Structure 1
Amino acid sequence: MAITLETATVDTLEETVDALASWQREGNPVQIHPGDLGWNLSLGAAQILDGLRLWRRAGQLVAIGMDDQDVIRMGLAPDVDDDPEVAEQLVADLSDPASGVLAATGGAVEARFGTALRELLTERGWHADEPWTPLSRKLSAPVEDHGLHLRTLDAGHAPEDLVRARVEVHRASFPNAGLTVERWHQMATAPPYRNARCLIGYDEGGVAVAATTVWSAGEGRPGLIEPLGAHRDHRGHGYGRAIVLAAAATLQEMGASSVLVCTPSKNTGGVAAYVSAGFVQQPDVPDFRRPS
């Protein structure tokens, strides 16, 4: 049965978010999550939808690819994990610049799930690129106290002073961060944020020292942290670990079965903060770089 490729639209965004959520399963490798799409929507729906590709078979979504700075981040339906027909079509479209998925020069794919897809990429000469470290923590047991004074921004509660604080901490946590108040509102009004919360952690003096956004995929499914950072002027006090614990506790309250995060392997400080907060570090997984 033919597998078709299309570009996402405003009309298919809800369907795309729901599919990504339903594909989150305990024990599966970390793949693109509704939160990844939700966070990127801060850049504006038009830009993200233009780089969002949907593959269907018999009308049903079987794969989703999101362009993230010349890396296509893939999500696959669990029942096509070892499907050679789907893998063949995905690799053909990823390899052919005329398909519009990847540009003619450069380009990589993040394919952490999909046994057949990963094997075929290797067979066709795609080689290992940037390594990423997945980490996870089960949420079946109580989460330790994080010790922060926590303020929360959800879809129905967004005071402007908290939005500004969220943006300021993010910009002080990441070099060259592009988040603005306007972009935060773009993200918060998009469908994925209905199942998300931004958390701002304050120290005993009332200073905002860390922040994160957590994304639920629904009760009983893994939730995601994307992104998380400690203010550069307040590092070395354990606030990174504290906001990780706050994120885990919040996702537990939202019904998540576990909490996931994936960070560049070179971010050794970030990996250490997650491990210190009870996360289990999994083997590094590289992206696949298209052969020249």
Structure 2
Amino acid sequence: MTVTTSTPLVHELDSVAGVLAEWQHGDRAVQLHPGDIGWFRRFGARRTAQAVRTWSRAGEVLAVGLLDGPDVLRLEIAPEALHDEELARQVARDATAPECGVLPEGEAYVAAPPGALVGDLLMRRGWEGGDMWTPLRRELDEPVPDPGVHVEVVGPEQVPERTAVQRSAFTGSTFTDDRWHAMAEAAPYAAARCLLARNDRGEPVAAVTVWSAGAGRPGLIEPMGVHADHRGLGHGRAIVLAAARALQELGSSSVVVDTPSSNTAAVVTYESAGLQRLPELQDLRRTA
């Protein structure tokens, strides 16, 4: 039967996230986690639905994509469909042809799972290697050390501090209090936690959001940041340890994160908290 491409309706977003959760396994690197959709929900349900694409056959979802920016498609594929030729051809066609409404003309990026056939097809269509990413993971079958700082689970009272840390940590961040509430009111956040670390003067110094994919599955850090005024003091390591402990409490089998390989400070921070560097991933880039 034919593979079809669709944009989910708002009320279908939770089922799409559920499908992604089923594909999460500790022994494979993944490009898209249900937490990625949960984090995107800060922009609201309608905008999130517009950014999601699904590829299905006979009602079964075989691939999910998230437009993480207008020219970046992050793609995840069902483990049993990584080498499905019909699926790969359809995804490659949708990613390459602007009239399909997935990616615009000109420069664009696709992050596909390692070993997926669609990557080979895109290379044949003129795509080339793009940015390098470093995945990191820590198994959660052993106790995680105490972070050594005061850490709070963010509720309504801490939201202004949580969003302020985010904006300080990431230049150009548009994370506002309203966007935190939009994210927290969406269904995926029921399996998530926002954490805020404070120094010994009570100042908010670092923050993280963690996303569970269900018991026995990898949990995601997205995002983690340290306030610009408090860097170099170990707060990044502390909040990552707190994130690992939170995911352990949620039943996650491991904590995972992807960061640009060029962001060496982030890689070092994650490694200092016990996450192990995995083989690098490379996205695909179309230059014209």
**Fold agreement, TM-score > 0.5:** yes
Q: Which position in structure 1 is the counterpart of 2:87?
A: 86
Q: How many pairs align?
A: 287
SS in 2 for 1:8: coil
Q: CA deviation at 1:114?
A: 4.8
Q: CA deviation at 1:235?
A: 1.1
Q: CA deviation at 1:228?
A: 0.2
Q: CA deviation at 1:237?
A: 1.0
Distance between the aligned counterparts of 2:172 and 2:91, measured in 1?
Answer: 33
Q: Which position in structure 1 is the counterpart of 2:104?
A: 103
Bigger shift: residues 138-147 or 45-54:
45-54
The within-5 A match list for 1:79-158 is: 79-153=80-154, 158=155
CA-based RMSD: 1.2
Q: Which position in structure 1 is the counterpart of 2:175?
A: 179
Q: Which position in structure 1 is the counterpart of 2:249?
A: 253
Distance between the aligned counterparts of 2:19 and 2:249, measured in 1?
Answer: 23
Q: Which position in structure 1 is the counterpart of 2:16?
A: 16
Residue identity in the other structure for 2:124: E
Deviations, residues 119-173 of structure 1 (Å, cap 9, x unaligned): 22223321011211111111111111101111103xxxx32x2111111111111
Partners of 1:133 and 1:281 within 8 A in 2: yes
Residue identity in the other structure for 2:89: E
TM-score (normalised: structure 1): 0.95
Q: CA deviation at 1:193?
A: 0.8
Q: CA deviation at 1:15?
A: 1.0
The within-5 A match list for 1:53-72 is: 53-69=53-69, 70-72=71-73
Partners of 1:30 and 1:260 within 8 A in 2: no
Distance between the aligned counterparts of 2:146 and 2:213, measured in 1?
Answer: 24
Distance between the aligned counterparts of 1:39 and 1:175, measured in 2?
Answer: 18
Ranges in structure 1 where 5+ consecutive residues have no aligned partner: none
Q: Which position in structure 2 is the counterpart of 1:163?
A: 159
SS in 1 for 2:146: coil
Partners of 1:93 and 1:99 within 8 A in 2: yes
TM-score (normalised: structure 2): 0.96
Partners of 2:7 and 2:49 within 8 A in 1: yes
Q: Which position in structure 2 is the counterpart of 1:25?
A: 25
Partners of 1:149 and 1:202 within 8 A in 2: yes
Q: Which position in structure 2 is the counterpart of 1:224?
A: 220
Partners of 2:88 and 2:117 within 8 A in 1: yes
Residue identity in the other structure for 2:258: C
Distance between the aligned counterparts of 1:98 and 1:112, measured in 2?
Answer: 24
Q: CA deviation at 1:191?
A: 1.7
Question: Which 4+ stretches in 1 moved above 3 angstroms?
Answer: none
Identical columns (%):
47
Partners of 2:108 and 2:287 within 8 A in 1: no
Q: CA deviation at 1:92?
A: 1.2
